[in-house]
Homo-oligomer: A and B are copies of this chain.
Amino acid sequence: MSTERSGDYLRRSLELLWGRRERPTRGPKPALTLERIVAAGVRIADAEGIEALSMRRVAAELRVGTMSLYRYVPGKAELLELMIDRAYGMTDGTDAPEGANWRTVLRYVALGTWRMYLDHPWLLQVNLARPVLGPAAVAGFDYALSGLADLDITDHERIGFVAAVDGYVAGCARTHVNAAQAARQTGISDEEFWAAHGPMLEKAMLSGAYPHVAALAEDTFAVPGERLFEFGLERLLDGLETFLARRSGAGGGANGGEASGGTDGIEAD
């Protein structure tokens, strides 16, 4: 029975995602649209944070009874899935470089994803079990793959490239986005936070337990998160480039094969 129920739920959710929407002909015209509900959800999450998103809040935004939403969406989880795919789709790819260098493509994807996370921080805060396989997500994945089409690597390595970039972007963005929202979310300003931590950290530094942290210059942590992100991104792309050079070139570039272990590609199981 649980199997049937979950099967139904999945089918319903997928139909919503991929837009199989046929209105029944009987009954009154719906006052709402899936589109409007999802848009309202995104608006609220963007403006007030994911913790402010509740079914009641969405209904209030649309001037509608809370339970009316359940005529369009099976539950909050499905609403979140739809919001995620909508956010994916909101990044316009009009300026996407076509037929460009693989590095240019991956960098474009990474920066676009980064900007998307900054615009919709809740994307990283809602912990969705499985990736949302909606049209927008698949399209983005396809574009990333298009940049790798001409490379002489296996398909496993192709998704290895994409996964590495995606993982790096998500991780960095998570830190950055959380920090940016910190003041609003906790009600504690950066000044208060560091003023409270200052004495504690200073004592910890003087204790000698953390010599390498203590040795850092004072302004070390003043680097803006975006700069850190771009720095690491280029390093990661460099590393992918090294992989390609090793693969195609005659056995190892000047990077010295000795110190770098794990140069193997991704073999099948």
Assess whether A167 is in contact with B172, with CB atoms less than 8 Å apart: yes
Interface residue A11 (Cβ < 8 Å from any Cβ of B): yes
Partner among B145, B200, B234 whose Cβ is within 8 Å of the Cβ of A18: B200
Q: For A243, list chain B residues within 8 Å (CB).
A: 235, 238
Assess whether A164 is in contact with B213, with CB atoms less than 8 Å apart: no
Number of copies: 2
- The 0/1 profile, CB within 8 Å of B marked 1, for residues 178-205 of chain A is 1101100111100011001100110010
Size class of the A contact interface (CB-based, 8 Å): 35 or more
Assess whether A220 is in contact with B155, with CB atoms less than 8 Å apart: yes
Bound-state CA distance A175–B223 (Å) is 27
Q: For A6, list chain B residues within 8 Å (CB).
A: 186-188, 192
Q: For A237, list chain B residues within 8 Å (CB).
A: 239, 260
Interface residue A219 (Cβ < 8 Å from any Cβ of B): yes
Interface residue A64 (Cβ < 8 Å from any Cβ of B): no
Partner among B14, B169, B239 whose Cβ is within 8 Å of the Cβ of A200: B14
- The 0/1 profile, CB within 8 Å of B marked 1, for residues 202-232 of chain A is 0010000111110111011111100111111
Chain B residue with minimal CB distance to A225?
B163
Partner among B127, B178, B254, B259 whose Cβ is within 8 Å of the Cβ of A253: B254
Assess whether B124 is in contact with A230, with CB atoms less than 8 Å apart: no
Interface residue A160 (Cβ < 8 Å from any Cβ of B): yes
Assess whether A188 is in contact with B10, with CB atoms less than 8 Å apart: yes
Residue numbers of A with Cβ under 8 A of B are 2-3, 6-7, 9-11, 14, 18, 50, 77, 101, 103, 124-125, 127-131, 133, 135, 138-139, 141-143, 145-146, 149, 155-160, 163-164, 166-172, 174-175, 178-179, 181-182, 185-188, 192-193, 196-197, 200-201, 204, 209-213, 215-217, 219-224, 227-243, 245, 253-256, 259-263, 265-266, 268-269
Q: Can you list the 5 inter-chain pairs with the closest CB atoms, starting with the nearest?
A: A171-B171, A164-B232, A239-B239, A254-B254, A167-B171
